[in-house]
Chain A
Amino acid sequence: NAGVTQTPKFRILKIGQSMTLQCTQDMNHNYMYWYRQDPGMGLKLIYYSVGAGITDKGEVPNGYNVSRSTTEDFPLRLELAAPSQTSVYFCASSPPGPPGYTFGSGTRLTVV
Protein backbone atom coordinates (compact mmCIF):
# COMPACT_ATOMS: atom_id res chain seq x y z
CA ASN A 1 0.00 0.00 0.00
CA ALA A 2 1.89 3.06 -1.26
CA GLY A 3 -0.39 5.73 0.27
CA VAL A 4 0.23 9.13 -1.27
CA THR A 5 3.02 9.33 -3.84
CA GLN A 6 4.53 12.60 -4.99
CA THR A 7 6.91 13.11 -7.86
CA PRO A 8 9.43 14.55 -8.32
CA LYS A 9 11.10 14.81 -4.92
CA PHE A 10 13.30 17.70 -5.96
CA ARG A 11 13.21 20.17 -8.83
CA ILE A 12 14.96 23.37 -9.83
CA LEU A 13 13.09 25.65 -12.18
CA LYS A 14 14.10 28.81 -13.91
CA ILE A 15 11.91 31.88 -13.62
CA GLY A 16 9.11 31.71 -16.16
CA GLN A 17 9.25 27.96 -16.67
CA SER A 18 6.28 25.75 -15.96
CA MET A 19 5.95 22.32 -14.44
CA THR A 20 3.49 19.86 -12.98
CA LEU A 21 3.84 18.30 -9.57
CA GLN A 22 2.31 14.86 -9.57
CA CYS A 23 0.29 13.35 -6.73
CA THR A 24 -1.31 9.91 -6.71
CA GLN A 25 -3.09 8.05 -3.94
CA ASP A 26 -4.19 4.44 -3.88
CA MET A 27 -6.54 4.55 -0.89
CA ASN A 28 -9.64 5.57 -2.86
CA HIS A 29 -9.87 8.77 -0.82
CA ASN A 30 -12.37 11.32 -2.05
CA TYR A 31 -10.57 14.35 -0.71
CA MET A 32 -7.18 15.55 -1.83
CA TYR A 33 -5.18 18.63 -0.97
CA TRP A 34 -2.10 20.58 -1.92
CA TYR A 35 -0.15 22.49 0.70
CA ARG A 36 3.02 24.51 0.55
CA GLN A 37 5.51 24.90 3.36
CA ASP A 38 7.74 27.93 3.32
CA PRO A 39 10.93 27.99 5.42
CA GLY A 40 10.17 28.34 9.12
CA MET A 41 6.45 28.28 8.50
CA GLY A 42 3.58 25.89 8.79
CA LEU A 43 1.67 24.53 5.85
CA LYS A 44 -0.74 26.64 3.84
CA LEU A 45 -3.50 25.23 1.67
CA ILE A 46 -3.22 25.92 -2.06
CA TYR A 47 -6.07 23.90 -3.59
CA TYR A 48 -8.25 21.02 -2.61
CA SER A 49 -10.64 18.60 -4.27
CA VAL A 50 -13.66 16.77 -2.91
CA GLY A 51 -13.83 14.33 -5.80
CA ALA A 52 -13.12 13.79 -9.46
CA GLY A 53 -14.01 16.88 -11.45
CA ILE A 54 -14.39 19.12 -8.38
CA THR A 55 -11.68 21.48 -7.18
CA ASP A 56 -11.60 24.64 -5.13
CA LYS A 57 -9.16 27.28 -4.01
CA GLY A 58 -7.47 27.27 -0.65
CA GLU A 59 -5.61 30.01 1.13
CA VAL A 60 -2.82 30.70 -1.41
CA PRO A 61 -3.97 29.63 -4.92
CA ASN A 62 -2.40 32.38 -7.02
CA GLY A 63 0.09 31.10 -9.57
CA TYR A 64 -1.20 27.53 -9.45
CA ASN A 65 -3.77 25.37 -11.18
CA VAL A 66 -5.11 21.92 -10.45
CA SER A 67 -7.25 19.29 -12.07
CA ARG A 68 -8.88 16.12 -10.79
CA SER A 69 -9.83 13.85 -13.66
CA THR A 70 -9.63 10.67 -11.57
CA THR A 71 -10.02 9.78 -7.92
CA GLU A 72 -6.38 8.77 -7.73
CA ASP A 73 -4.59 11.75 -9.29
CA PHE A 74 -4.41 15.40 -8.27
CA PRO A 75 -1.65 17.20 -10.19
CA LEU A 76 -0.57 20.74 -9.34
CA ARG A 77 0.47 22.95 -12.23
CA LEU A 78 2.80 25.92 -11.92
CA GLU A 79 2.67 28.35 -14.82
CA LEU A 80 5.35 31.02 -15.14
CA ALA A 81 7.34 29.99 -12.07
CA ALA A 82 8.44 32.79 -9.76
CA PRO A 83 11.01 32.84 -6.91
CA SER A 84 8.12 33.27 -4.46
CA GLN A 85 7.04 29.74 -5.34
CA THR A 86 10.22 28.29 -3.92
CA SER A 87 8.84 25.99 -1.26
CA VAL A 88 8.19 22.43 -0.22
CA TYR A 89 4.91 21.13 -1.58
CA PHE A 90 2.90 18.47 0.16
CA CYS A 91 -0.01 16.55 -1.24
CA ALA A 92 -2.46 14.88 1.12
CA SER A 93 -5.61 12.81 0.91
CA SER A 94 -8.37 11.87 3.30
CA PRO A 95 -11.63 9.96 3.35
CA PRO A 96 -14.91 11.70 4.22
CA GLY A 97 -15.63 12.24 7.88
CA PRO A 98 -13.40 13.31 10.74
CA PRO A 99 -10.00 14.40 9.51
CA GLY A 100 -7.20 11.96 9.00
CA TYR A 101 -4.79 13.20 6.40
CA THR A 102 -2.26 10.98 4.74
CA PHE A 103 0.58 13.15 3.51
CA GLY A 104 2.95 12.49 0.67
CA SER A 105 6.68 12.84 1.24
CA GLY A 106 6.85 16.27 -0.35
CA THR A 107 8.41 17.95 -3.38
CA ARG A 108 11.16 20.48 -2.77
CA LEU A 109 10.97 23.13 -5.50
CA THR A 110 13.49 25.90 -6.06
CA VAL A 111 12.85 28.67 -8.56
CA VAL A 112 15.97 30.57 -9.62
Chain B
Amino acid sequence: AQKVTQAQTEISVVEKEDVTLDCVYETRDTTYYLFWYKQPPSGELVFLIRRNSFDEQNEISGRYSWNFQKSTSSFNFTITASQVVDSAVYFCALSEAQDSGTYKYIFGTGTRLKVLA
Protein backbone atom coordinates (compact mmCIF):
# COMPACT_ATOMS: atom_id res chain seq x y z
CA ALA B 1 0.00 0.00 0.00
CA GLN B 2 1.08 3.53 -0.64
CA LYS B 3 1.98 5.61 2.34
CA VAL B 4 3.78 8.84 3.15
CA THR B 5 5.22 9.40 6.60
CA GLN B 6 6.27 12.74 7.97
CA ALA B 7 7.39 11.81 11.45
CA GLN B 8 8.11 15.37 12.54
CA THR B 9 4.84 16.91 13.64
CA GLU B 10 6.28 20.30 14.54
CA ILE B 11 9.72 21.87 14.37
CA SER B 12 10.82 25.18 15.84
CA VAL B 13 14.01 26.88 14.79
CA VAL B 14 15.52 30.29 15.25
CA GLU B 15 15.85 32.48 12.20
CA LYS B 16 18.92 31.77 10.07
CA GLU B 17 19.18 28.18 11.24
CA ASP B 18 19.06 25.37 8.70
CA VAL B 19 16.23 22.88 9.02
CA THR B 20 15.47 19.55 7.34
CA LEU B 21 11.98 18.16 6.98
CA ASP B 22 11.85 14.40 6.61
CA CYS B 23 9.62 12.43 4.27
CA VAL B 24 9.56 8.65 3.93
CA TYR B 25 7.31 6.94 1.44
CA GLU B 26 6.11 3.45 0.59
CA THR B 27 5.08 2.25 -2.83
CA ARG B 28 5.23 -0.88 -4.96
CA ASP B 29 5.27 1.01 -8.23
CA THR B 30 8.45 1.73 -10.11
CA THR B 31 7.02 4.89 -11.63
CA TYR B 32 5.80 7.50 -9.23
CA TYR B 33 6.13 11.17 -8.38
CA LEU B 34 7.00 12.94 -5.17
CA PHE B 35 6.00 16.43 -4.21
CA TRP B 36 6.44 19.03 -1.55
CA TYR B 37 3.77 21.63 -0.86
CA LYS B 38 3.82 24.59 1.49
CA GLN B 39 0.68 25.66 3.33
CA PRO B 40 1.17 29.10 4.88
CA PRO B 41 -1.19 30.40 7.58
CA SER B 42 -3.43 31.81 4.84
CA GLY B 43 -4.32 28.20 3.99
CA GLU B 44 -3.58 27.82 0.29
CA LEU B 45 -1.39 25.01 -1.00
CA VAL B 46 1.76 26.23 -2.71
CA PHE B 47 3.59 23.85 -5.01
CA LEU B 48 7.32 23.64 -4.29
CA ILE B 49 8.73 20.72 -6.24
CA ARG B 50 7.90 17.59 -8.20
CA ARG B 51 10.36 14.74 -8.67
CA ASN B 52 9.82 11.56 -10.67
CA SER B 53 11.10 8.21 -9.53
CA PHE B 54 13.71 7.99 -12.25
CA ASP B 55 15.43 11.21 -11.35
CA GLU B 56 17.42 10.94 -8.16
CA GLN B 57 19.40 14.05 -8.78
CA ASN B 58 19.22 16.42 -5.85
CA GLU B 59 17.81 19.84 -6.53
CA ILE B 60 18.52 23.27 -5.16
CA SER B 61 16.32 26.31 -5.57
CA GLY B 62 17.58 29.30 -3.69
CA ARG B 63 17.46 28.46 0.01
CA TYR B 64 15.53 25.25 -0.66
CA SER B 65 17.07 21.90 -1.47
CA TRP B 66 15.73 18.41 -1.82
CA ASN B 67 17.47 15.08 -1.26
CA PHE B 68 15.81 12.13 -3.00
CA GLN B 69 17.15 8.69 -2.08
CA LYS B 70 15.34 5.68 -3.50
CA SER B 71 17.48 3.30 -1.44
CA THR B 72 15.91 4.63 1.74
CA SER B 73 12.58 5.74 0.16
CA SER B 74 13.14 9.24 1.40
CA PHE B 75 12.59 12.67 -0.09
CA ASN B 76 13.84 15.18 2.46
CA PHE B 77 13.54 18.94 2.23
CA THR B 78 16.11 21.36 3.64
CA ILE B 79 15.68 25.07 4.14
CA THR B 80 18.96 26.91 4.54
CA ALA B 81 19.15 30.11 6.58
CA SER B 82 15.47 29.91 7.55
CA GLN B 83 13.34 33.02 7.65
CA VAL B 84 10.16 33.89 9.53
CA VAL B 85 8.27 33.77 6.21
CA ASP B 86 9.14 30.08 5.97
CA SER B 87 6.77 29.40 8.87
CA ALA B 88 4.10 27.10 7.46
CA VAL B 89 2.93 23.53 7.31
CA TYR B 90 4.85 21.52 4.74
CA PHE B 91 3.34 18.47 3.09
CA CYS B 92 5.10 15.69 1.28
CA ALA B 93 3.00 13.75 -1.22
CA LEU B 94 3.31 10.66 -3.38
CA SER B 95 1.47 10.29 -6.68
CA GLU B 96 0.94 7.23 -8.82
CA ALA B 97 -1.00 6.61 -11.99
CA GLN B 98 -4.40 4.97 -11.58
CA ASP B 99 -6.18 2.69 -14.04
CA SER B 100 -8.45 5.60 -14.90
CA GLY B 101 -5.48 7.63 -16.11
CA THR B 102 -5.68 10.03 -13.22
CA TYR B 103 -2.99 10.47 -10.64
CA LYS B 104 -3.97 9.96 -7.04
CA TYR B 105 -2.08 11.83 -4.38
CA ILE B 106 -1.22 10.33 -1.01
CA PHE B 107 -0.34 13.09 1.41
CA GLY B 108 1.70 12.93 4.56
CA THR B 109 0.26 14.48 7.70
CA GLY B 110 2.48 17.51 7.38
CA THR B 111 5.22 19.13 9.41
CA ARG B 112 4.53 22.48 11.02
CA LEU B 113 7.62 24.66 10.86
CA LYS B 114 7.90 27.64 13.17
CA VAL B 115 10.74 30.03 12.53
CA LEU B 116 11.31 32.35 15.44
CA ALA B 117 12.77 35.81 15.00
A interface residues (Cβ-Cβ under 8 A, vs B): 31, 33, 35, 40-45, 48, 50, 56, 58, 88, 90, 94, 96, 98-101, 103, 105-106, 108
Residues of chain B lying within 8 A (CB to CB) of residue A108: 43
Is A43 within 8 A of B105, CB to CB?
A: yes
Is A45 within 8 A of B104, CB to CB?
A: yes
Contact for A42 among B4, B44, B50, B103, CB less than 8 A: B4
29 intermolecular pairs with C-beta atoms under 8 Å apart: A31-B102, A31-B103, A33-B102, A35-B105, A40-B109, A41-B110, A42-B110, A43-B105, A45-B105, A48-B104, A50-B100, A50-B102, A56-B100, A88-B43, A90-B45, A94-B103, A96-B101, A98-B33, A98-B52, A98-B103, A99-B35, A99-B105, A101-B47, A101-B105, A103-B44, A103-B45, A105-B43, A106-B44, A108-B43
B interface residues (Cβ-Cβ under 8 A, vs A): 4, 9, 33, 35, 43-45, 47, 50, 52, 91, 93, 95, 100-110
Is A40 within 8 A of B103, CB to CB?
A: no
Is A99 within 8 A of B4, CB to CB?
A: no
Tell me what chain B mostly uses at the interface: helix, strand, loop, or mixed: strand
Residues of chain A lying within 8 A (CB to CB) of residue B101: 31, 50, 96
Is A42 within 8 A of B95, CB to CB?
A: no
Contact for B108 among A42, A58, A94, A99, CB less than 8 A: A42
Is A106 within 8 A of B43, CB to CB?
A: yes
Residues of chain A lying within 8 A (CB to CB) of residue B105: 35, 43, 45, 99, 101
When C-beta atoms are compared, the residue in chain B nearest to A106 turns out to be: B43
User: CA separation between A33 and B108, bound complex, in Å?
Assistant: 18
Is A99 within 8 A of B44, CB to CB?
A: no
Closest CB-CB distance, B111 to chain A, in whole Å?
A: 11
Closest CB-CB distance, B36 to chain A, in whole Å?
A: 12
Residues of chain A lying within 8 A (CB to CB) of residue B95: 99
- Nearest 7 pairs of A and B residues by beta carbon: A42-B107, A99-B103, A99-B95, A103-B45, A43-B107, A105-B44, A42-B109
